[in-house]
Copies of this chain bind each other. A is one copy, B any other.
C-alpha cells in the first residue's frame, strides 16, 4: 500500500494540474465556450490517474465525506486537506506560468448571483454521485461521472460550481480565475453544507438495498 506521503503527493499534483487548467484556460480564451468541459475533463483524468494511489479525492469536500463515512481516518484526512490546499495554490501559479505570467495576487473579486445555493447544490450533487457509485462497487466510472457533473453544474449554477475548497482557495490567489478571499470563505461553508446534504441523501433517498448489503458480507 502506498505510504501517506505518496498519497499526499498524488493529491497535491492532481489538484495542482486541475487548478492550473482552471487558470490556464482563461488565458487562451476568456469566453471560450469549451472552458467548462476542458476543466471537467482535466479533473476526470486526474481522478483516474490518482485513484489507485490516494483514492483520487482531489477535493477536501470529498475527503470530508469519506472521513464522515469512516473510510479514511481523520488524521489522514488532515494530511489530504493540507496537500490539496497546497496543490491549489501551486496550480494557481502554474496556470499563469504556462502563459508567461509568474505572479500571484490576493483577490477581492465577487462573482456570481445566488452563488451560495449554487455551491450547496453543486457540492451535494458531486458528493452524492461519488458516494452512490462507491457504495455500489462502480468506482471505475467515477472519473467520468465527476467530469460530467462538473461540466453540467459549472454551466447551470450561478457560481460556476467550484464545489471544492482547495480550488476555491487556489483561485483566491490566481490572476485569471479569481474568487475573493472573503466570498471564498462563504463558498467553503456552502460546500461543507453540500457534503452534509449528500450524506443525508445517501442514507434516506438512495441507500444500498439490504439484500445486496448482506450478499457482500
Contacts and interface: CB of A to CB of B under 8 A. Distances in A.
A33 B98 CA distance: 20
B45 A156 contact: no
Contacts of A125: 17, 45
A53 interface: yes
Given A27-B158, A117-B97, A155-B28, A45 B148 contact: yes
Given A28-B155, A41-B148, A45-B152, A136 B52 contact: yes
Contact of A38 (B2, B95, B151): B151
Contacts of A38: 151-152, 155-156
Interface residues of A, number: 67
B205 A6 contact: yes
Contacts of A44: 148
Interface string A109-122: 00001100110010
A15 B2 CA distance: 37
The 10 lowest CB-CB distance pairs between A and B, nearest first, are: A100-B113, A24-B156, A100-B114, A21-B156, A38-B155, A42-B152, A99-B158, A25-B156, A41-B152, A98-B118
Interface of A: 1-2, 6, 9-10, 13, 17, 20-22, 24-25, 27-29, 32-39, 41-42, 44-45, 48-50, 52-53, 94-101, 113-114, 117-118, 121, 125, 128-129, 132, 136, 145, 148-149, 151-153, 155-159, 201, 204-207, 209
